Structure 1
């Protein structure tokens, strides 16, 4: 049985996916990751995003309309840098935990 979602939920979910689309390999991957956050089935969200992308999605156009090409490029570069730094921090946390266990006298 299908579940009806209010238009506000649809708009919010699609907007979130479109805003973070460059962080994922595909719209499908973005929908799979974001759907649980907005309590929507991932397949429904994927279809909504697909329709929004095909229609030129007004929310995506509004977001892009305020930015010049140079600003969009810089934004994309900064988002990639943030992702890389988060990944490096995660690796450093794991390494520090590993070495802390190795140096712990109770570990031996």
Structure 2
């Protein structure tokens, strides 16, 4: 919509404000950000796409899970190593 009405306004900011008002969207900056996101996702502007961002977020979550699992395994290994090192006493 912003691209469609851009010629009717003196600059992009005015076009953004007009469309934001027409769509009852809070600040026009939100509309500007959506436009930038669309340009990045469509390859018209450099940057990280929404898909790439989601993949990185998922990978970071998986790495955190693996680190927690690794810490648990290290603790278990230490526990069992200590058990093996202690002499068995019978009562």
Task: Identify, as 1 or 2, the structure richer in helix.
Answer: 1
Greater RCO, 1 or 2 (C-alpha within 8 Å, sep 6+): 1
Q: How high is the TM-score relative to the length of structure 1?
A: 0.40
Rg (Cα) greater in structure: 2
Q: How high is the TM-score relative to the length of structure 2?
A: 0.46
